[in-house]
Chains A and B, each alone.
Chain A
Amino acid sequence: MRAVVRILKDTFSLNDLSRGERIAFASFLVVIFLFPLFVRISYFRSVTIKFLLFAMYGLGWNLIGGYGGQVDLGQAKNVGFGAYATAIMMTWWGIPFWLTVPVGIMIAVLESFAVAYPMFRLRGHYFAIATLCVALVWQQLFLFWDWTGGARGIELPIKPIPNFAYMQFRAVGYHYFILALFLAEFFFMNWFRKSRMGYQLQAVRDNEDASASLGIDVTWTKVKAYLITAAMGAVGGSFYAVYHLYIDPRSVMQLDLSILIAMTAMVGGAGSIWGPILGAAILIPLDMYLGALFAGKGFYGIDFMIYAFIIMIIASQEPRGIWGIVEKIRGRARVSGS
């Protein structure tokens, strides 16, 4: 009983964070909760949903990439497993959405477990490129196979009426559903970073030899983190499938997606709980705004040029991301205040 209370307290308590952070987070929650009630333009709603989805992807990636320090550039394969499990089971056998999610998670976790041990023999760039290669192998296979729809992809059936079991409702429903998923992952991460495993993972990131000498099983710690990240990616993929109602290997297993997910966490600040949220809050609206700004004006590609330019500026000027800037400003304020 006491253990349960402690876990709950660790999960929902933000007491170790500063007052400013808590106030900012609370106001963020209020805004995002009331957002669809006041904003009725569907474009803005879709931007917000995409933001929440990528914040969620980023939170998952942050576990292995931020707290674990292992640069995983293959998260798209897990998104793909979740999306395909949901799409195939719902389209072919009419299985309700809720039963497909655990299947997607299981596939992603089992696959990740199969490749994790050989992969964690590698470090640094070798590891990053190995994850990338594995994800690309899966993309090629999903493009090739018939039962996944190949390059044509899968279109999910549309039910005429709002339907909870098949996750079909109006845009507001998706907003609150993804918000719930996002909050679940956020509080899980909030528990994780203070858990025994979270500290072990950060110790491994900072110094593998020292943590091994303290009795931490280095590889197993990394593998566990890798599996949790995989599960989180799969959940996001399942949501993507029922939200977009169409998936193909180019949309859910693309290399660009893997990198965008990692970038979300990196631009915001990897290894901080706010990082992925800040990163998604900047990258996703920026991407969609630039896309809309130049759409149909004959300037093909200029939106990506500006986008890429901003990424290069952040990577070269503030490699710790937006959160690094915030901490710098706070540090300066503290020095001048005291």
Chain B
Amino acid sequence: MDLAVQIATSGILMGLVFGLTALGLTLIFGVMDIVNFAHGEFLMIGMYSAYLTSTFLFLEPILSLPIAAGVGFALGIGVYYLLVKHLLSGPMVAQLFGTFGLMLFLRYFVMFILGPDPRTILHGFLVGKTLSIGAVAVDLSMVAAAGFSTGLFILVSWMIEGTKLGRALRATSIDTEAAGYMGINTEWMRALAWGIGGATAGIAGGLLANFYYITPTVGMLFTMIAFATVALGGFGSVRGAFVAGLIIGLIMMVAGQYLSHIKLAFVYFTYFLVVVIRPRGFFGW
């Protein structure tokens, strides 16, 4: 029983972070129908931002989150204007490879500057501490990551559902041309979707950096998990990303307990099963 609670707890905590990672991807997809292979790389750069600021500026890792968010936001906007804008008119294959090229570029850019060695954040308020409630013990930085993820998720959902800016974003995703006629700057909305996507991935990276090893190649894993999460929840659906993130976190932790070598196989296989039964995912359009 204790074990079950332990697994469920860490599954849900991890799932909340996955949900945050997938949020940016699903937003980008919703607004402009493009799948971003470099999404995990945004996260990786967020990790390094947190690592570098905490190691060289002696800043508390949690306080470096705004920096990770800023770097992610700037990166997202920059990527949109320099690359994605020019990909949008092309066929889907070209879009996939454009963002795949971006993924390779970012990964090896970081490797070129900082070297391929894995790093970890050693000092920090949350690093290495555990929180015990009864028989359940969880990494404190994981709890903080889950908490921040949930908060940010609610914030972004509110922004999309409740504000004028969010309505403009949704209008752009439903019909770009019509939204343009209504006086919405659709170009900026698209760039903004990339900015928000980059920022949320950056923050997810900054949170993960507290308890996950940091290498230039770590992004691929999170890209794949985010793909599965987004597709499971339905492309473009914010609610779907949240639910699917939780499901994937739970599957990973349960499978990791018994068959840790192939826990990812279960994640991918679940995605496959779900889309076979319901090709649009849970909340897809």
Contacts and interface: CB of A to CB of B under 8 A. Distances in A.
Interface of A: 65, 71, 73, 115, 118-119, 121-122, 124-126, 128-130, 132-134, 136-137, 140-141, 143-144, 255, 259, 262-263, 266-267, 270, 299-302, 304-305, 307-312, 314-317, 319
Contact of A136 (B92, B95, B116, B265): B265
B108 A128 contact: no
A266 B90 CA distance: 12
A299 B264 CA distance: 33
Contacts of B109: 301, 305
A136 B92 CA distance: 21
B108 A302 contact: yes
Contacts of B272: 115, 118, 130, 133-134, 137
B219 to A, nearest CB: 12
Given A144-B261, A305-B109, A319-B90, A126 B235 contact: yes
Nearest to B270: A133
Interface stretch (B42-50, B66-74, B97-105, B121-129): B97-105
Given A304-B107, A308-B108, 10 more contacts: A122-B275, A129-B228, A133-B271, A140-B262, A140-B265, A266-B94, A266-B97, A305-B109, A316-B90, A319-B93
B142 interface: no
A136 B183 CA distance: 44
Contact of B87 (A300, A305, A308, A316): A316
B279 A121 contact: yes
Interface residues of B, number: 50
Given A132-B227, A133-B228, A308-B104, A65 B93 contact: yes
Contacts of A308: 101-105, 108
B137 interface: no
A299 B112 contact: yes
Given A144-B261, A301-B111, A308-B102, A122 B279 contact: yes
Contacts of A118: 272, 275-276
B268 interface: yes
A161 to B, nearest CB: 40
Given A126-B235, A301-B108, A312-B101, A319 B227 contact: no
A315 B98 CA distance: 5
Contacts of B261: 140, 143-144
B278 to A, nearest CB: 10
Contacts of B216: 301
B269 interface: yes
Given A125-B35, A266-B94, A136 B115 contact: no
Contacts of B268: 133-134, 136-137, 140
Prevailing SS type, chain A contact patch: helix
Q: Which of B29, B104, B115, B259 has most chain A Cβ within 10 Å?
A: B104
A315 B94 contact: yes
B12 interface: no
Q: Which of A115, A259, A300, A301 has most chain B Cβ within 10 Å?
A: A301
B83 interface: yes
A59 B86 CA distance: 27
Contacts of A300: 111-112, 115-116
B134 interface: no
18 contacts: A122-B275, A126-B235, A130-B275, A134-B268, A136-B268, A137-B269, A140-B264, A140-B268, A143-B261, A266-B94, A300-B111, A301-B108, A304-B108, A311-B100, A312-B83, A314-B97, A315-B95, A319-B89
A249 to B, nearest CB: 12
Interface in B236-281: 259, 261-262, 264-265, 268-269, 271-272, 275-276, 279-281
A126 B100 contact: no
A314 B90 CA distance: 11
A85 to B, nearest CB: 20
Nearest to B29: A125
Nearest to A151: B261
Contacts of A134: 268, 272
Contact of A315 (B35, B101, B280): B101
Nearest to A259: B100
Interface string B31-65: 00101000000000000000000000000000000
A126 to B, nearest CB: 6
